[in-house]
Chain A
Amino acid sequence: MVGCSSDGDGSKVLSKIAMNGGHGEDSPYFEGWKAYDNNPFHPTQNPNGVIQMGLSENQLCFDLIEDWIKNNPKASICTADGVENFRNITNFQDYHGLPEFRQALAKFMARIRGNRVEFDADRIVMSSGCTGASETLMFCLADPGDAFLVPSPYYPAFNRDLRWRTGVQLIPISCHSSNNFQLTLSDLESAYSKAIESGVKVKGLILTNPSNPLGTTSDVDTLKALLEFTSRRKIHIVCDEIYSATVFAPPVFTSISEVMREVECCDPCFVHFIYSLSKDLGLPGFRVGVLYSYNDAVVSTARKMSSFGLVSSQTQLLVASMLSDGDFVERFLGESPRRLRDRHRKFVEVLGRVGIGCLKGNAGLFFWMDFRKFLEEETFEEEMRLWRVIVHDIRLNVSPGSSFGCAEPGFFRVCFANMDEVTADVALGRIGAFVTRWHGDKNLRLSFKSLKSGDENNNSLSMTSPHVMSPRSPVVIARN
């Protein structure tokens, strides 16, 4: 029986899930968002503001999409050419999705993989972004208390998306800088055995490829080994391929779907992947996600579950039209990686000149920056102190490695594709200036140490509810 709420905020009458913090938004990680929100950089209006480098968005190719939309009025139900479609589209709520939408997605996904593999449009289940797709897969594959293994560092919102409402556990497999954070078979085997011995039911492995936050792709041999491992143990492998079209340098992206036919013991019933247009096309606001499974029962059930997060039919129409345009797709998939490569190269070169190393990456919208030399001690407390310097002193919002579950302190994920050239130059200038001062200025290091007394205050500030943050705050963003 629920008691009468006397505390005024109504929290006592809510469920355990509502109150358990499983949404993950109370971590100090969000202090950076707050700093950005309170003081956002603008090249002319606020040139000393905080630059947002914690947001993994792709804003480099909007012009290509805008041009296409201008030249294709029929794709919108709001144009003279498209309005005749209005009745059919506005009424369409079939959870199979518009056939042309699924077909266009199937072709697009195949094209990203160099047409080395084909996809069946009937296996595509739509979802509200990858956020919806990953949660739905957990509901289909695991019961509360079951576990999925996940190589760390990993995307922080997995803690919410995979666990919060499903009751599924995540068991991280720590990867190390000594081998460039690659997942090894022995680490996987060891994590799996340990979990089994402690009585946990391991249902599968979830892998993000290309990796967030590392910005690297998994090689073919690793994928084959992982698939063989999961197939032999009859556990699932779920690949989050949301960054598949952001690969800008060799090696070419290899999808789990390509590797299946090369692993003899592979049972397709245990293979699934998720995808979205949020990163490759830079359309996170349109909430277009895909769950693709080789297991018929999963497709059938996931489709019923997709009722809880269908893609707006207005958006399905737009996307179907856009991705069916072969010329546009070719142009986009040629140009986007080129721009990502150029931006990535610029950052890596400039940072290299001031002695900051990054993990060698070939994909993604970010790089994995090595700031260990700036730590007085190799601890996560030091990492957080350094991070506060970066946020408040250098005025860059970057993401500390600890928020990705990284086992080694001193690494940061830095996003580079969510800003224009001017802002990128300013950001690089600030980092360079900071490093120069660091080397030459003992006082800077002392003032950094003195931040210790300010930490407690900052910590308490970070517990503010994200609800009061501005609309631009990434803390309220579905996926970053």
Chain B
Amino acid sequence: MLSRKLSSNSHGQDSSYFLGWEEYTKNPFHAIDNPNGIIQMGLAENQLSVDQIKGWLKRRNLTGCEPGVSDFKELASFQDYHGLPAFKSALAAFMGKIRDGRVTFDEEKIVLTAGATSANEILMFCLADPGDAFLLPTPYYPGFDRDLKWRTGVEIIPIHTSSSNNFRITTSSLEQAFRHAQTLGMTVKGVLITNPSNPLGTTITRSEFNQLIRFVDSKNIHLISDEIYAGTVFNNSPDGFISVAEALHCGNHSLSQRIHLVYSLSKDMGMPGFRVGLIYSNNPSLVSAATKMSSFGLVSAQTQYLLANMLSDESFVHSYIEENRKRIRERKQLMVSRLHEVGIPCLESNAGLFCWVDMRGLLDESGPSFGGEKRLWTRLIHEVGLNVCAGSSCHCSEPGWFRICFANMDEWAMEVAMDRIKSFADSIRGQEQAAGTVLGQRFILLLLLSFIFVDDLGRTLSSQVKS
């Protein structure tokens, strides 16, 4: 009676990523009203800089944010899928500033969409047919299973990465994924990366960039870079933040038509509610097709108007970007150091609103397993009261890694969360110690017993010899 899409579960919302969210919703932490509730650390939101934006609204005396009476009619009627020119122009400039001016953007190449969710889906509809595949490095954002595959019929083939090289993409892992897709009879249409990475919080190195470009060029396929966290780069790695946008000006015309960016204001500006996303591409046919498809998810003209004003204020944008980076860096350092104190390491990272945390040491078996990871995650939710994102829901190939978000709460909640982790880690170590003590005692007892046995044996033997 209903469609197959409805009956299947390829919306992906049965994964622990969403289940944890549900658990949090049933019992949300509140410093005063529910201090024993679950703290939400599974949501990569940026709430560190909202006050800056509120401050801007107040300083402006709030004019120019909502249209004057004479403009209201125009705005309320404005449903042109090309978007408000002033908004796109401000967005193009903003994207360039986040990249410290190393790349510039042309507003004519922007397609506005209802968040990056819609942008990614539209790209799949435009670049791939049902049954085709895109290669994605693992671990990746759990929402991609829904956004890229559900209604489009496109498949995701993982590019496996490993902690042995800090989860970096290599040519051999790209080739392996490509061959795997071929053995499954799928046509690979491209590679999609998130840069900075979700959940790793790292930006691609120059070597990764070069390998990716060479790979997609040699295979004549697309490269999509979801750069939704571009404004959260708080530490420059040795290579700096390398945006895939650099390849748009590579001089290779054919290749430059197959490089596309996705962006959104949800993370950098902390505005997920406003549903502002975009596709950026040199490919005019893609821009044209995607623009038509954006009819299914346009950005509210009211919101475009507000943000066109905000993002056109250059001095505000400059100070916002700097302050936002600073606060993310500080909050992240706090988490990393607190975790380090209890012997929990994090992947070294320079961006994002989360840490990629190595909790293999807290798994309950001698060797890591996904069963153990699930048990640990369940304990974290129900006993410790923290909703974190298990690595398996991000398709990580190694168990024991978790994404823990730090930018969606105030300092108080952060301290409570770190205390809970410390207590939990201590209790596990204590149990291990206790278990270790018991084991140790048994070992000593066995040793003693064995000495006695040997001594007896020795005497018996010597008596035999003697006799």
Interface residues of A in 286-342 (CB under 8 A from B): 286-287, 295, 297-298, 301, 304-305, 307-315, 318
Q: Within 8 Å of chain A (Cβ to Cβ): is B77?
A: yes
Task: With both chains docked as a complex, state the minimum distance between the C-beta of A296 and any C-beta of chain B, in angstroms.
Answer: 11
Interface mask (A20-34 → B, CB under 8 Å = 1, otherwise 0): 000101000000000
Q: How far is the CA of A309 from the CA of B62 in the complex (A)?
A: 28
Q: Mark A30-71, 1 if CB is under 8 A from B, else 0.
A: 000000000000000000000000000101001001100110
Q: When chains A and B are docked, how far (Å) is the Cα of A11 from the Cα of B254?
A: 11
Q: Does B275 contact A (CB under 8 A)?
A: yes
Flag whether B466 is at the interface (Cβ < 8 A): no
B291: nearest chain-A partner, CB-CB: A467
What chain A residues lie within 8 Å of B69 (beta carbons)?
A: 66, 70
Known contacts A4-B254, A282-B76: does B296 contact A13 (CB below 8 Å)? no
Contact with B along A92-117 (1 / 0, CB 8 A): 11000000000000000000000000
Find chain B residues with CB under 8 A from A467 CB: 82, 284, 287-288, 291
Instruction: Name the residue on A nearest B182 (C-beta).
Output: A1
> A3, A13, A142: which contacts B222 (Cβ < 8 A)?
A13
Report if A200 contacts B (CB, 8 A). no
Given A284-B77, A478-B79: A139 touches B151 (CB 8 Å cut-off): yes
B111 to chain A, nearest CB (A): 11
Q: How large is the interface on A (under 10, 10 to 19, 20 to 34, 35 or more residues)?
A: 35 or more
Flag if B6 contacts A301 (CB, 8 Å).
yes
A78 touches B296 (CB 8 A): no
User: What mask results when residues 145 to 182 of chain B are scored 1 for a CB within 8 Å of chain A, else 0?
Assistant: 01100110000000000000000000000000000000
Q: How far is the CB of A392 from chain B (nearest CB, A)?
A: 24
Q: Specify which of A66, A69, A92, A140 is in contact with B5 (CB 8 Å cutoff).
A: A140
Interface segment among B125-133, B231-239, B431-439, B457-465: the answer is: B125-133
Question: B6: nearest residue on chain A (CB-CB)?
Answer: A301
Asked if A11 and B285 make an inter-chain contact with CB atoms under 8 angstroms apart, the answer reads yes
Cβ contact within 8 Å between B129 and A16:
yes
Once A65-B76, A69-B72, A78-B62 are accepted as A-B contacts, the answer to whether A86 and B57 lie under 8 Å apart by CB is: yes
Q: Are B72 and A287 in contact (CB under 8 A)?
A: no
Is A141 on the interface with B (CB-CB < 8 A)?
A: yes
Q: B292–A13 contact, CB under 8 A?
A: no
A89 at the interface (CB under 8 A from B): yes
When chains A and B are docked, how far (Å) is the Cα of A260 from the Cα of B111? 42
Contact of B66 among A79, A128, A308 (CB under 8 A): A79
Within 8 Å CB of A312, what residues of B? 273-275, 299-300, 302-303
Decide if B424 is an interface residue (CB 8 Å cutoff).
no
B296: contacting residue among A4, A286, A304, A309, CB under 8 A: A309
Which B residues between 62 and 105 are near A, CB-CB below 8 angstroms?
62, 65-66, 69, 72-73, 75-82, 85
Contact between A471 and B129, CB atoms less than 8 A apart: no
A246 proximal to B (CB < 8 A): no
A442 within 8 A of partner (CB): no
Residue of A nearest to B310 (CB): A78
Query: Chain A residues with Cβ under 8 A from B82's Cβ?
Result: 467, 471, 476
Q: Report the nearest B residue to A16, measured CB to CB.
A: B129
Q: Would you call A444 an interface residue if the criterion is a C-beta within 8 Å of the partner chain's C-beta atoms?
A: no
Residues of B29-72 whose CB lies within 8 A of A: 45, 47, 50, 53-54, 57-58, 62, 65-66, 69, 72
A residues less than 8 Å from B291 (CB atoms): 467
Whether A91 pairs with B272 at a CB distance below 8 angstroms is yes
| Whole-angstrom distance between the Cβ of A383 and the nearest chain B Cβ | 26
Which one of A129-137, A173-181, A355-363 is at the B interface?
A: A129-137
Does A446 belong to the interface (CB within 8 Å)?
no
B302 contacts which chain A residues (CB < 8 A)?
A: 285-286, 312, 314-315, 318
A309 contacts which chain B residues (CB < 8 A)? 114, 118, 296-297
A residues in contact with B397, CB < 8 Å: none
A286 in contact with B289 (CB, 8 Å): no
The answer to whether B205 has its CB under 8 Å from any CB of chain A is no
Whether, in the assembled complex, A426 has its beta carbon less than 8 Å from a beta carbon of chain B, the answer is: no
Which chain B residues border A346 with CB–CB below 8 Å?
none
Cβ-neighbour of B2 out of A93, A140, A471 (below 8 A): A140
Question: In the assembled complex, which residues on chain B have CB atoms less than 8 Å from the CB atom of A297?
Answer: 2, 6
Q: Do residues B300 and A141 form an inter-chain contact, with CB atoms below 8 A?
A: no
Residue from the list A140, A161, A308 in contact with B118, Cβ < 8 A = A308
Say yes or no for A450: interface residue by CB 8 A criterion: no
- How far apart are B249's CB and chain A's nearest CB, in angstroms? 16
Q: How far is the CB of A336 from chain B (nearest CB, A)?
A: 14
Contact B297 A141 (CB under 8 A): no
| Cβ-based interface call for A430 (8 A) | no
The answer to whether A285 and B128 have CB atoms under 8 Å apart is no
Report B-chain residues with C-beta under 8 Å of the C-beta of A454: none
Q: Tell whether A79 pairs with B2 under 8 Å between CB atoms, given A65-B72, A91-B272, A284-B77.
A: no
- Asked if A90 and B274 sit within 8 Å, CB to CB, the answer is yes
Contact B300 A91 (CB under 8 A): no
Known: A5-B257, A66-B69, A284-B77. A315 touches B289 (CB 8 A): no
Q: Nearest chain B CB to A461's CB is how many angstroms away?
A: 18
Instruction: Judge whether B3 is part of the interface by a CB distance below 8 angstroms.
Output: yes
Interface centre among A89, A282, A307, A467 (most CB of B within 10 A): A307
B398 within 8 Å of A by Cβ? Answer: no
19 sample A-B contacts, Cβ–Cβ < 8 Å, listed by A number: A13-B283, A15-B127, A18-B290, A69-B66, A91-B271, A92-B273, A143-B4, A160-B295, A284-B79, A285-B79, A301-B2, A307-B146, A308-B297, A310-B114, A315-B302, A467-B291, A476-B82, A477-B81, A478-B298
Which 7 A-B pairs rank lowest in CB-CB distance, beginning with the nearest? A313-B273, A285-B301, A78-B65, A10-B283, A309-B297, A11-B285, A312-B300
Chain B: residues with CB nearer than 8 A to chain A?
1-6, 11, 13, 45, 47, 50, 53-54, 57-58, 62, 65-66, 69, 72-73, 75-82, 85, 114-115, 117-118, 121, 125-129, 132, 146-147, 150-151, 187-189, 219-222, 253-254, 257-258, 266, 270-275, 282-293, 295-303, 306
